[in-house]
Amino acid sequence: MRRWRESWASSEPTAERAAIARLAGELEQIGLPDEEIEIEREMLQALIDRDELSCATRAGGLPRVETGHRVVRGEPCHFSAPATLVQETAQPTGRLLLTSGRVIFVGGGASVAIPWHAVSAAAHADRHLVLVKSGGEVAYRFRCNSYTDALCAAFIGREILAARRSATPGL
């Protein structure tokens, strides 16, 4: 299982259908009962979901998520999912929203709004969305409910950051 997870991690950043099929085959070859590879199946599904999001984004741009949440204030919202703000002592649970201008977390008595210009990278670590400031310091860590949410949020974050960089040469 350790080798499969290492293979998944090394394939994850650019995993497309061929890599996903290879990982699925490797997982089947392990031969463990479904209940013993439940997390790995979730990880594999996350790659499939992220690949579908990537294809849809290439074809028509980032998704538009309808939300009536007042914190969005008319900005295009590209992602919305339940999450936990990890670095807060109480680790409040709420909603993570990614708009074209900000990363927003609301819930559990906590509210955070981070403008994308303050973020240098978006990544995932297991089920976490990790936002990094310039200089490499982790700014925020949000625990998502699934690998799919974490991978898709990180993908959308990278797409927004890339669009901002190409719109503002020299960033």
Strand pairing of 102-107 and 93-99?
Answer: antiparallel
Specify whether the CB–CB gap between 120 and 134 falls below 8 A: yes
Is 74 buried (19+), middle (13-18) or exposed (0-12) by CB count in 10 A? exposed
pLDDT digits (tens, 9 = 90+) for 11-41: 776 767 888 999 999 999 988 888 999 999 9
**Of 106, 141, 96, 105, which Cα lies nearest the Cα of 121?**
141
pLDDT digits (tens, 9 = 90+) for 56-74: 999 999 999 988 778 888 8
Number of H helices, E strands in the chain: 4, 7
Cα gap 88→3, rounded to integer Å: 33
Cα gap 64→99, rounded to integer Å: 9
pLDDT digits (tens, 9 = 90+) for 101-135: 999 999 878 789 999 999 999 999 899 999 998 77
Cα gap 61→78, rounded to integer Å: 10
The predicted model scores a pTM of 0.90
- Of the chain, the end-to-end C-alpha distance in Å amounts to 40
CA 48 to chain CA centroid, nearest Å: 13
